[in-house]
Structure 1
Amino acid sequence: MFRYAILIVFSVVLGFALNMFLLPHEVLSGGITGLAMVFGLLTPINTGIWLLVLNIPIFIIGWMRLGKAFILNSILSVVITSLSMQYIPLIKITDDALLSAIFGGVISGIAIGLIVRFYGSTGGFDIIGLVLTRKIDIPLGGLIFGLNSIVVFISGFIFSWDLALYTMASIYVTGVVMDRIHTRHIKLSLMVVTTRTEELKSALIKNLVRGITVMNGRGAYSNKENNVLYTVITRYELAMVKSLIKEIDPKAFVSISETVEVLGNFRRS
């Protein structure tokens, strides 16, 4: 329930950033959200509606590549963002477009970073970026910034190049803040001491699609037999892994440490 609360709250926060900071100055967000904002400004149809429509093909790709649970969380996030944009008034917090671009970018980065960190996304280029990072081991925020450059050129031709530069600044700030919160490219070594080996091992393999090394162990103090599960995960998967372990074996001893480099057959999923 905590995960869904985070997804809902920060989807509303994202809607707030778009309607209160970016849209009033025609400073766009990135990716599909930015394209939805362009169509929202050029047509009588609300940006939130365009956000839903444009994300449909992206969700289909994500369903095939990233899994059912992730896409359902993403759909929840996009729907909540879209609904919030229907009710949050479209007003200027400040008359300064640069301040709006920076603060809108910061708030968007915090919201998107936490949504992705808790196993969801805001759709669009977030999903495309997550699919690509399975093949390219670079920070998600940096990759999305590159993809979002398309929106900058579109906004430059349709509106003005001053607004395009504000958009670039906003997208850059969003990417930087996002990578401070959610650093998927960082690898973590996971060691779990448990007595419920088979159940936990099966759940981790099913959800992570990763190899796990099982070692025999014995408690020095209790002198009881147990097992040690060892694997390497991405920072992106940590919230889900902790939830699984807590559900299956709340008494398990868990050690998590950052890994500098991984060589060999490591699946970036």
Structure 2
Amino acid sequence: MISSSKKRVKYAVGKAAKRFGLWHALKSISREKYAEKISASLFYGILSSIAVNFFFQPGHVYSSGATGLAQVLTALSSRFLGLNIPLGLTFYAINIPLMLLAWFKIGHRFTIFTFITVTVSSLFIQIMPQITLTQDPLINAIFGGLVMGVGIGYGLRARISSGGTDIISLYIRKKTGRDVGNISLLVNGIIIMFAGLLFGWQYALYSMITIFVSSRMTNALFTKQKKMQATIITDQPERVIKKIHKKLHRGVTLINDAEGTYDHNKKAVLITIITREEFNDFKEVMYKADPNAFVSIAEDVHILGKFIEED
């Protein structure tokens, strides 16, 4: 009897999981690097809580994105409603509807790791004690931005999201195919405005500084979005193309019958676009495919058209 009940429960759970796509998501996650993603979630949670409780809150400096928005809402509720709502709870509440959007519109695997990251960071923000290391708001702005930027950049390198405006941006990008940096700009503009209204406009300037420092540090660590154009001159084009396809999964444009002006030997010119993150793998590919090829690299190129960014 008990065995029969267990079977019915197991069947019901499995049916529900399949219905909501959870089963497929869990199966796909099993092939991911669990340790890298979970450690990145923990690392981001710890650094974000340090940035918030050691620098942002004591210095009345606001972060960017959902963290800064949570700071604004917490400050407003305390000043005008007399409610001392925990910052970690506000941050989590902001992300709940966004994670539902991500689950149904972006992807289950992405949402699961976002849920883990948001939960961990909310928990650490709540349990980490608030310590005033310095009263200088400029120092708080700079070091808070550095710590937060390292956490965000490391998380992005591990292919995890901290939620917030990332989800909205990814959703609109998926629907339209366009980069939507204006969303982050709008949210950060609102945060800076409230910083000025609540604490004085000098604090709006400090918040601008911390957002700038954080974004610079994030860009330094997360190089996937930086595109590079590789122009390859080789007499073994098929071998090079095969290696690039297999290792990097990138397309290649082939120009045949190129000619060197010194020795007039026939060459092929290959053009491919890679990310800065893939550059080391690209060098290894070229060393194995044709170590005598001539390769020139153009950094930070802008592209029009479809460029697949792998998860």
Q: TM-score, normalised by structure 2?
A: 0.61
Number of equivalences? 229
2:54 is equivalent to residue 20 of structure 1: yes
2:98 is equivalent to residue 58 of structure 1: yes
2:73 is equivalent to residue 33 of structure 1: no
Pairwise CA RMSD: 3.7
For residues 1-269 of structure 1, what are the structure 2 equivalents within 5 Å?
1-41=35-75, 42=78, 43-132=83-172, 135-137=177-179, 144-145=184-185, 147-187=187-227, 193=243, 260=301, 262=303, 264-267=305-308
Task: Tell me if the contact between 2:150 and 2:221 (Cα under 8 Å) persists in the aligned partners.
Answer: yes
Q: Compared with structure 1, are the counterparts of its residues 38 and 103 closer, same or farther at alpha carbon in structure 2 (3 Å cutoff)? A: same
How far apart, in 2, do the equivalents of 1:192 and 1:105 lie? 43
Query: Using CA pairs below 8 Å that are at least 6 residues apart, which structure has the higher relative contact order?
Result: 1
How far apart, in 1, do the equivalents of 2:286 and 2:187 lie? 36
How far apart are residue 254 of structure 1 and its match? 5.4
Q: Compared with structure 1, are the counterparts of its residues 34 and 254 closer, same or farther at alpha carbon in structure 2 (3 Å cutoff)? A: same
Task: Tell me if the contact between 2:192 and 2:208 (Cα under 8 Å) persists in the aligned partners.
Answer: yes
How far apart, in 2, do the equivalents of 1:264 and 1:34 lie? 34
Task: Tell me if the contact between 1:152 and 1:164 (Cα under 8 Å) persists in the aligned partners.
Answer: yes
Q: Deviations over 1:107-137 (max 9, x none)?
A: 1011111112211121112323344556335
Q: Deviations over 1:29-76 (max 9, x none)?
A: 112211211233323121001111111122223334432222211111
Q: Compared with structure 1, are the counterparts of its residues 234 and 143 closer, same or farther at alpha carbon in structure 2 (3 Å cutoff)? A: farther
Which position in structure 2 is the counterpart of 1:247? none
How far apart are residue 187 of structure 1 and its match? 3.4
> Which is greater in Rg?
2
Q: Compared with structure 1, are the counterparts of its residues 5 and 265 closer, same or farther at alpha carbon in structure 2 (3 Å cutoff)? A: closer
SS at match of 2:161: coil
How far apart, in 2, do the equivalents of 1:78 and 1:137 lie? 23
Specify every segment of 5 or more residues in structure 2 that has no aligned partner in the other structure, as ranges. 1-34, 231-240, 253-271, 288-296
Letter in 2 for 1:14: S
How far apart are residue 22 of structure 1 and its match? 0.4
Q: Compared with structure 1, are the counterparts of its residues 102 and 232 closer, same or farther at alpha carbon in structure 2 (3 Å cutoff)? A: same
